[in-house]
Structure 1
């Protein structure tokens, strides 16, 4: 048996070897730009298994049946992999038998990060269903819209969300089952079905799942994103999309996990919400496929989060900038808090090198701190910095099987160190937006490149730096807030004739929505009245911080709101 010192030396040697391999790859490929100025991944292509996500996740179950798959650090409630597999199968069978869910039917999941989340999602997939994830702090208006757009046949939630969902169903004139997870012994609300009874049903005939006929190319996940512009749209992600991205981030030089063995299991803190594709794919699906433990925090409270990082011996953390900033500055954080952390990956929005260094200074230890880049439409990861790079200003290089291109506003290809829109092509790119041919035409070029709507620069050796956003989404705490959605809500106010919304810098949120409102003739109201109107209809992070009354909204000849003009004049 190796001594502790020998293990440390062994790890150091492995790290040096990996870093040398990184350097050798990129020296051999001095220029990442190929014909037509296309940037190919420097990594070898990966093979993409021809299967469904649920089969992919469970394929190595026999290697870690007794390992923990998910656990709540507050209550200690959780599941082993073997238990999760059995419960999700029973739930899936009951979805088909009792609720008549059939192949391709959509089921909504409106949950915070509870230990049951993986069981719910896997059960839906095993039943042949499609999962659409809903933010649990959405209002009835937002839930109504997603249930209608996704044509959901059922919804899974917690007791505290039932009233919102019932209000949403009334608004939508829908009658679908509400399945509720019982987490604290309290009786479930009237008119709902208990998830626990469905999943713990020992008499259900699970052989009904043999009737499911789903393929790698079928849609399995239907998140909603604003894409490059406008209102939320259903993003059709296939089994192949998700599995491709899982295999891509298994590339040894970018992998963020350790192998699960008889003596080791990574502990991953899941503070990022599972309703977002970043956590759903990169954390849930991928980490389950590797037998890793997910520590699920249902509610973000700084002290609880920091205590859990330490007590759960968290060694892998995926985060967004607000979390990193908190970890660098909160009084309750100390080097002891982060004594087990080995890998920290920032995503969802860029983090400055200075902020990364402040966090590392607070941690007072060497760790693998990296950044990645992706979108809901790319399942989500496009690029990631390799191990040992140590450059916090970029988001790394293209993953295996991925091609990149930088173009100008006429889609002409640009070269190294030239700023333009980033285009992506690869197996992780979505099938398209659901029932939205115009959005698909706007988002894909004629030769199949996906337009990210982000301005970027690619260095000669293939390192990508995100420079700015072409799209007008507002990033609040890492969440996307589409101006068009807020403008639509504002125009519903009885005193508002027209409105425009832009993002403005915010000290702790990154950005915040600011509205410019044109009142109807003779209308009299005040900013607070309009803020309260919006507050009732949108999630808390979408709330408008400031309102300015103006005479008219500046628009182009085509009727497009000139947000740049508003920013120049008022921000």
Structure 2
């Protein structure tokens, strides 16, 4: 896949506002962070090779990875040895080659990081998938990315389509792949523009799509994080709270490894209690946490010993201001570094210091090497400071595009490589980004993306339902929950609980419908498209009943 043209426009000094980063001449917002140089784009370079170049020599003596539940640790030297052995075995024994797409359908473990780095080093394309996905969901993802093979567990492999071969991570066969020394295998030349990862996203509208991200995308992400590191006498202990199949989780794992930090890895079924116990036990200095985790920490009924904790990076969904304030009162020494990003665009904005973290109503300032515009959807006019419009961004972290979906690419990108995020935002006079609303139809449940169109299709297939719409409903713990508006067929006795149970059998738990409201009609355009903006003023919202 060829990358979308990227034409960064340097700001003209006389028209650039140093306070906000806004260039009045081009009407482009520029990052206030120092420019981070990247390797020449035509230089062959895989992400693992770039990450290795950032590590000190000799390698750090502290662990690279720690299993939160067992305490088992892997050193940096052993991790790199595992990567070399796996890379050789994946080519010689599994038959993988450059360009092959590989599903990773497994919860977080100490084996997954080595597997990811080994696959990337031989030019294979990793595609992390939520192990909770249903067989029907996996079938759709397989059709999108056409994986050559899947690495799964005994619990998840049975849900894969029969035409997908699986290697079980929890099997002696997989463990045997670590036995070699990695010698005798010719190095694979990987271009920075080669696809490295396929993530799944619903984008700005519609059903799930396969977003292709390049090695250079990840090089740019990690370079930006690495540039803000502050050298410390003691090693950073980082708790990875985000799942590895999530874009944020994978990005922060790779960042931590490249930065020489010790990463404490949570198991797949770990909840908030297990995360907090791990943070206390290992005296972590930094962690990632979704908004519901921050909410839970602020309300936690028991004392928490988090004296070592300095920063929490919170993203994936909006953090309620009240929850942020409660957290800051309880943990005044801990910085909540909020950020904004997306699967397609990578990290777009975030906070990097205590002063910025006080702006709890914002999503931080533009990240390194990021340009942004605010565009009026009706007129196409570029907007200024304090004006609300759709956020468009350009940066080296922006994806290559959607696999096999040129129609979606044409909608998502303009001719100059601007990514249309589908989010309504504004910048204040200090360059802080504020996310007002989403134009796109996604529901953010505990940082997971839920596409209403997918659930609406399933609902309309149920007997007794004439029409349906799925909308986000605010929830402090989850951020948003999927709520279904149902127009029943005449004579139908289908209850809300029955509807929720029927859908729950077909989708991953985070996609479950958690509220059902019956109504007589759903507002639509003459062509039949749901008027989602009109749903907010729908009479049914005045008489909601929780089922």
Task: Report the TM-score, using the length of structure 2 for normalisation.
Answer: 0.89
Query: Matched residue of 2:84: which SS?
Result: helix
How far the C-alpha of 1:302 sits from its partner, in A, is 2.9
**What is the aligned partner in structure 2 of residue 110 from structure 1?**
105
Structure 1 stretches of 5 or more lacking a match? 1-26, 183-187
What per-residue deviation string (whole Å, max 9, x for no partner) do you get for residues 70-98 of structure 1? 11121112311111111122222222122
Alignment match of 1:346 (pick from 305, 314, 329): 314
Kept after mapping to 1: 8 A contact 2:292/2:476: no
**What is the aligned partner in structure 1 of residue 12 from structure 2?**
none
Using the alignment, how far apart are the partners of 1:297 and 1:42 within structure 2? 34
Kept after mapping to 1: 8 A contact 2:387/2:427: yes
* Larger mean Cα displacement after TM superposition, 227-236 or 141-150: 141-150
Kept after mapping to 2: 8 A contact 1:258/1:266: no
Structure-to-structure mapping, 1:559-570, within 5 angstroms: 559-569=528-538, 570=540
Structure 2 stretches of 5 or more lacking a match? 1-15, 542-547
Alignment match of 1:525 (pick from 470, 494, 499): 494
Alignment match of 1:270 (pick from 231, 234, 240): 240
Structure-to-structure mapping, 1:25-40, within 5 angstroms: 29-34=18-23, 35-40=25-30
Structure having the higher helix fraction is: 1
How far the C-alpha of 1:377 sits from its partner, in A, is 0.7
Query: Matched residue of 2:318: which SS?
Result: coil
Alignment match of 1:179 (pick from 140, 149, 167): 167
**What is the aligned partner in structure 2 of residue 443 from structure 1?**
412
What per-residue deviation string (whole Å, max 9, x for no partner) do you get for residues 145-191 of structure 1? 11221111111122222332xxx313xxx142x12223xxxxx4xxx
Alignment match of 1:197 (pick from 170, 176, 191): 176
How far the C-alpha of 1:333 sits from its partner, in A, is 4.1
How far the C-alpha of 1:495 sits from its partner, in A, is 4.2
Using the alignment, how far apart are the partners of 1:428 and 1:567 within structure 2? 34
Kept after mapping to 2: 8 A contact 1:236/1:431: yes
Distance 1:108 1:209, change over 3 A: farther
**What is the aligned partner in structure 2 of residue 487 from structure 1?**
456
Using the alignment, how far apart are the partners of 1:280 and 1:85 within structure 2? 18
**What is the aligned partner in structure 1 of residue 347 from structure 2?**
381
**What is the aligned partner in structure 1 of residue 330 from structure 2?**
362
Using the alignment, how far apart are the partners of 1:121 and 1:137 within structure 2? 20
Kept after mapping to 2: 8 A contact 1:127/1:209: no
Using the alignment, how far apart are the partners of 2:91 and 2:465 within structure 1? 47
Alignment match of 2:32 (pick from 38, 42, 62): 42
RMSD value over aligned CA atoms? Answer: 2.1
Distance 1:314 1:401, change over 3 A: same
Structure-to-structure mapping, 1:8-87, within 5 angstroms: 29-34=18-23, 35-49=25-39, 50=43, 51-59=45-53, 60=55, 62-64=57-59, 66-87=61-82
**What is the aligned partner in structure 1 of residue 421 from structure 2?**
452
Query: Matched residue of 1:285: which SS?
Result: helix
**What is the aligned partner in structure 1 of residue 155 from structure 2?**
160
How far the C-alpha of 1:31 sits from its partner, in A, is 4.8
Distance 1:564 1:91, change over 3 A: same
Kept after mapping to 2: 8 A contact 1:483/1:501: yes
Task: Report the TM-score, using the length of structure 1 for normalisation.
Answer: 0.86
Using the alignment, how far apart are the partners of 2:17 and 2:457 within structure 1? 52
* Larger mean Cα displacement after TM superposition, 413-422 or 92-101: 92-101
**What is the aligned partner in structure 1 of residue 365 from structure 2?**
397
Alignment match of 1:98 (pick from 84, 93, 97): 93
Alignment match of 1:136 (pick from 123, 131, 135): 131
